[in-house]
Structure 1
């Protein structure tokens, strides 16, 4: 029995002090709310009307950095989990989030508001840091 206890303690030390398997643990345990904003550029997305049934309150959206975007070096594209692009994080809000993503942090969003405004869709999102 003492050998079993020793092995368990060694594994614990390996995990937390030598980096073995550390990626299996979330440091915070819960996702951390950072900011709320809206999806920019929805009026430029082709077939946006076709995506509306997939966008509901609490729909999770993914963020992707576009470091070679010709209009904004901090551009962050917003996509549905099925891969369809629905817009961008507004340029006025994206610098800090771009830096976080560039440093390896995983950010995502959740829809909290959706409303048709004339010919375009206003989609409010909350930005989270994965815990």
Structure 2
């Protein structure tokens, strides 16, 4: 006879097993933010009022990434948005295919605002891109 018996689900184990069932937004154990690359946002000159949109951004502020698989110019397009839903540009075409594939596979990709610099009529915006895993 085997004297080893499984322990009953209690405490943290029970909470983790219930994650998502009761609407709780508990963090996943060992979840981490993985830095992938730093990019200069593309398309900022095509966004109306981008300077107003970015006026209150602080270094490290989170940006949402959304895939645009039906984008006419780029099937791998990923667009950055502020948390208020304001568009601010794209991950450059030469750097987006692997990130788009990760997003299509269900990975959470997002940005963190780094800086902006006005160059004539053009606004250079730098963002660090991360994956949550």
Query: Cα offset for 1:21?
Result: 4.3
The worse-fitting range, judged by mean Cα deviation, of 77-86 and 26-35 is 26-35
Within the candidate set 103, 109, 112, 1:110 is matched to 112
Query: Cα offset for 1:27?
Result: 5.4
CA RMSD of aligned residues (A): 2.4
1:70-122 CA-partner distances (Å, limit 9, x unpaired): 00000001000110000000000000000000000001111122111111211
Segments of 5+ residues of structure 2 without an aligned counterpart are 1-5, 21-25
Segments of 5+ residues of structure 1 without an aligned counterpart are none
Provide the TM-score with structure 1 as the length reference: 0.81
Matches within 5 A, 1:68-107: 68-107=70-109
What corresponds to 2:32 in structure 1? 30
Provide the TM-score with structure 2 as the length reference: 0.80
* Distance 1:100-1:22 versus aligned 2 partners, 3 A rule: farther
Q: Which has the higher helix share?
A: 1
* Distance 1:60-1:25 versus aligned 2 partners, 3 A rule: closer
Tell me, yes or no, if the aligned pair for 1:57 and 1:114 is still in contact at 8 Å.
no
Q: Which SS does the other structure have where 2:128 is aligned?
A: strand
Count residues in correspondence.
122
